[in-house]
Amino acid sequence: MDFSLTEDQQSIRDAVLDFCTTRFPDEYWRDLDERAVFPHDFHKAMADAGWLGVAMPEDVGGAGLGITEAAIMMQAVAESGGGMTAASSIHGPVFSMQPVALFGTEEQSKRMIPSVLTGEHRICFAVTEPDAGLDTTRLRTRAERREGGYLVNGEKIWISVAQVADKMMLLARTTPLEEVTKKTEGLSLFFTDLDRASIDVRAIKKMGRHAVDSNLLFLTDVWIPEEDRIGAEGEGFKIILHGLNPERILLAAEAIGLGRAALKRAARYARERVVFDRPIGMNQGIQHPLAKCWAQLEAANLMVLKAATLFDDGADCGVEANAGKYLAAEAGFEACHTAMLTLGGMGYAREYDVERYLREVMIPRTAPVSPHMILNFLAEKVLGLPKSY
């Protein structure tokens, strides 16, 4: 049993950390957050360096590596100080094209994936709806079959990057819920153009991650050609299920990276800040909370890497992926909160960045699934308790 990164994995971590911290310092992210401007330069630089395709097949321009390497990379991106802003700006290419790679035809993979990895196209993942929440089977967005394709009408919410995206991964119901035998049937997945002539994209004002937008989408008679459907009609729910565990793994890795960034900032401040003729880092009241956060982050990281390794080995990893996401999000939040308290009043000041970290760590703590639903899942799947929802 080996708990260390391989030489190649360590090289990925070191290279990404160096790339991000050297070219995109704290000032870059602070400025974009204040102006609510998408990190176009960062997105392009990561695409040009080939990082967006880390977990995509080589025959479509990817590196052919696994979710483990993708998690290591995304963790380093967040840890560099870019936080959830940096991670979310490239999350789509790294993760969201998995359905095409796994279930698309060879023609679809070659047509759809390379331009996303090179940065030519930006994508958004349009699944969540205002009235469905986590009950994905009750999506109301309807894709009605027409000759040669589908006509789509409905609403989506909390769709990231839609302000700058020109492509979208869309889940819609092709068979009404009342007409299917099982509620998981009748949903279909599409990867198609984000046609702004028939899609109204409205930004949601929010607490943090201002540089990467979140949106409401109103779809009115959106035309999607049949060749843009991924997999068989009605099989969309099964297809996206294959992406849920990788999504949780990557979000967890990012939460750990953000927690590490906050912890590093707090420890540095504690060494330098002198009060009563001594650095505050000499005080156990400062030392112990920071040390506890370090231990929690590293323990969570082991669970995340275990989940990623299981996934790459083709083994069931639902329990580990969900547990890792829960532990990482809670540890990341505690690290960011403790960092802000360590800095005292300056922790509330933008120039020290920890207030930005604290605002952004609420994302992996809440999305894509709440901690309460994860605990429900673990209680049922691990402890054998009755399903509560």
Is the model's pLDDT at 246 over the cut of 90? yes
**Global pTM value:** 0.96
pLDDT at 329 (0 to 100): 98
Mean pLDDT of 56-62: 94
Contacts 24+ apart (CB under 8 A), 10-19: 12/54, 12/69, 12/72, 12/73, 12/76, 13/72, 13/73, 13/75, 13/76, 16/51, 16/72, 16/73, 16/76, 16/77, 16/80, 17/76, 17/79, 17/80, 19/45, 19/49
- Per CATH, the number for 238-381 is 1.20.140.10
Helix, strand, coil % in the chain, rounded to nearest 5: 60, 15, 25
CA 10, chain centre distance (Å): 22
CATH fold of 123-235 reads Butyryl-CoA Dehydrogenase, subunit A; domain 2 (2.40.110)
Mean pLDDT of 80-87: 98
Strand partners, 149: 146, 225
For 156, phi then psi, to 5°, come to -130, 155
pLDDT at 114 (0 to 100): 96
**Which of 6, 86, 8 lies closest to 44, judged by CA?**
86
The predicted-structure confidence for 30-42, as pLDDT tens digits, reads as follows 999 999 999 999 9
Beta strand pairing call for 149-160 and 142-146:
antiparallel
Strand partners, 168: 124, 192
The predicted-structure confidence for 90-114, as pLDDT tens digits, reads as follows 988 888 898 999 999 999 999 999 9
Is the model's pLDDT at 1 over the cut of 80? no
Helix locations, 52-177, DSSP H: 67-77, 83-91, 98-103, 106-117
What's domain 7-117's superfamily in CATH? Answer: Acyl-CoA dehydrogenase/oxidase, N-terminal domain (1.10.540.10)
Q: Where are the beta strands (DSSP E) in the chain?
A: 123-126, 142-146, 149-160, 167-173, 187-193, 199-203, 214-225, 229-230, 274-275, 278-279
Q: Where are the domains of the chain?
A: 7-117, 123-235, 238-381
At residue 303 the predicted structure's pLDDT band, cuts being 50, 70 and 90, is very high
Cis bond upstream, residue 386 (ω within 30)? no
Mean pLDDT of 211-238: 97
Mean pLDDT of 269-286: 97
302 contact partners, CB below 8 Å, separation of at least 6: 3
Here the tokens at position 218 are 């109103």
Here the tokens at position 375 are 């605990």
pLDDT at 154 (0 to 100): 97
61 contact partners, CB below 8 Å, separation of at least 6: 53, 113, 114, 117, 118
The predicted-structure confidence for 124-179, as pLDDT tens digits, reads as follows 999 999 988 778 888 999 999 999 999 999 999 999 999 999 999 999 999 999 99
**Which of 250, 259, 14, 258 lies closest to 125, judged by CA?**
250
Mean pLDDT of 255-279: 97
